[in-house]
A and B are shown apart, each in its own frame.
Chain A
């Protein structure tokens, strides 16, 4: 929601990044304020997932130019775990399976690590169990998921729900949801979207990285950005997603000189 008294959470300026020596991001500019939901859309290979991973600090992505301020702090000064503790959260497109580690053990470890770094109270196993079960209701998750190994043997939808559960536990200021809608059937999509909507508030912000408009029927963005060839080439309101769905990405290409972010194309 666009708020009057919001503050700037994220300020990305002229961000360039390489993977294996190939430039993928070629000058991304984006400003996000608290309370806002931004959708970043684009075709495969446009750089949107790379952007998400750069924000989270993935070591395979090398930033070659530009700045990112998160909550007034230079994000590049922070390691991935420090970003997580500072309030950046990435919901993975392909959540990692960790056989041998029980989900509840993992969730509690992540929760307590982040809590202690934020100077807040840690929870013992019993307290955490109550706490996490309450959060799981938000995502209509079966408590059985606590005893299973992290993401092991989970269906696509179950993995995505587990990601949003982690978001609920870690209470990030900025949550980046990388293709959270991919691989979800319509019921799972509704449950996940409902969970995200309940977690969104005036103090945090959410970036939805997605290929399709479908997710945006359930989580309504304040802004829609279109990415292509490593840049944001168009920014508009939520109606842009509908237009993209109807007319395809080619339509943007033809009109890309109407770029709203001020980048010369």
Chain B
């Protein structure tokens, strides 16, 4: 296959786009058309762009995969190993398309859960108000592409003071090779509501495909959202994810992002603390090997006073893999009494493994508490000796410490069966015998 320029790549991608009828007054058609217009003004990023300095996505230019249409058959059992006992609702999307036969929507008294197409008639207005408004498509090519190709979306609306205690599982299955899928998700947590979302990406294919996903979450005042994200695409896949979260006063957003899959992955998490006293945690673990590249970019924007943010991001990098973390924390002039801490810890398991970590603090208020730190290294010799002095062999000590390094993040996951699954994966990937 010949190397294609980034413009050639976009041109190819756009060919699979279908223009909505010119006279359509449908807001969704309008949104898609606007986004496509933005695509025309944007270009693919290169390592010359500051935000993409460490992540070379040029291999993506060689994969101008058309948008996926549901063609391939998927056996009903394909997603079963990933189903979780604790979930109240499960929405399954195959190649970006809602798959009702694989989904399981439980008791929806008081809560709205479903696909965009099924909710359009009943909740269109609420959805139209938020969809595409949080995720800025005018200056991000991937968000623009996702929005232009938006056909369906997972939609969750939790009305005021409703509390859904069991998690809602959004399972995105990539089931075709050589296609691009555009999963989308919208969460509206109205004031005083409470919800737990699991956003989960898997692949049934062994060959390359592209996932370009966008999530928007809007939290009303005092709302409480827990967001767990697990990216376990196959090792050939390209995964680009964007998530934008907006927090009203005294709301709380707690997120844990686990990155295991994809050949090249990039996750942008933007958290806007737009209300006074809003709080967030943004933890992450990337566990990668071979030639994988996993890039996590987070932006925590303290706009109003008395905000609080906590972040622990970890990378365990094996083989020749490359981990990237860029954590920007902005404290705007009015965001007095902000309390923020960020820690990036990185473990390199081989001499060829690589990590680039960049904490970025921009503080424009004068009465704030902000702490950040970053470490990159191999296992601590004192820790190994401590375990040896308790009878563990050198190897057992190393295995335990490597596992524990990831375990610290996994431990924070509140869904027991998922936690157990992930513990098993971390254990299998960190143990040398």
List the interface of chain A (C-beta within 8 A of B).
56-60, 79-81, 83-85, 89-90, 92, 95-96, 98-101, 106, 109-110, 113-114, 117, 149, 166, 170
Contacts and interface: CB of A to CB of B under 8 A. Distances in A.
Contacts of B404: 98-101, 149
A149 B408 contact: yes
B394 interface: yes
Interface in B372-402: 380-383, 385-394, 396-397, 400-401
Given A58-B385, A96-B383, A101 B400 contact: yes
B411 interface: yes
14 contacts: A79-B394, A80-B388, A81-B391, A81-B393, A81-B397, A84-B390, A92-B386, A96-B382, A98-B404, A110-B387, A110-B391, A113-B392, A170-B390, A170-B391
B359 interface: no
A56 B400 contact: no
The 4 closest A-B pairs by CB, nearest first: A100-B407, A100-B404, A100-B408, A110-B390
- Could you tell me the dominant secondary structure of chain B's interface residues? helix
B52 interface: no
B396 A98 contact: no
A81 B388 contact: yes
B230 to A, nearest CB: 18
Contacts of A170: 390-391
B408 A166 contact: no
Contacts, number: 75
B348 to A, nearest CB: 17
Interface of B: 380-383, 385-394, 396-397, 400-401, 403-408, 410-411
Given A100-B407, A110-B392, 15 more contacts: A60-B381, A81-B388, A81-B391, A84-B389, A92-B386, A99-B404, A99-B408, A100-B403, A101-B404, A101-B407, A109-B392, A110-B391, A113-B392, A149-B404, A170-B391
Contacts of B410: 100
Contacts of B388: 57, 79-81, 84
Contact of A90 (B389, B392, B400): B389
Contacts of A83: 389
B408 A113 contact: no
Nearest to A90: B389
B385 A80 contact: yes
B298 to A, nearest CB: 21
Q: A84, A89, A98, A166: which has the most chain B beta carbons within 10 Å?
A: A98
Q: B391, B394, B396, B407: which has the most chain A beta carbons within 10 Å?
A: B391
Given A92-B386, A149-B408, A114 B403 contact: no
A163 to B, nearest CB: 10
Contacts of A166: 390
Q: B382, B390, B396, B404: which has the most chain A beta carbons within 10 Å?
A: B390
Contacts of B390: 84, 106, 110, 113-114, 166, 170
B386 A109 contact: no
A242 to B, nearest CB: 32
A98 B411 CA distance: 13
Given A92-B386, A96-B386, A100-B408, A109 B400 contact: yes
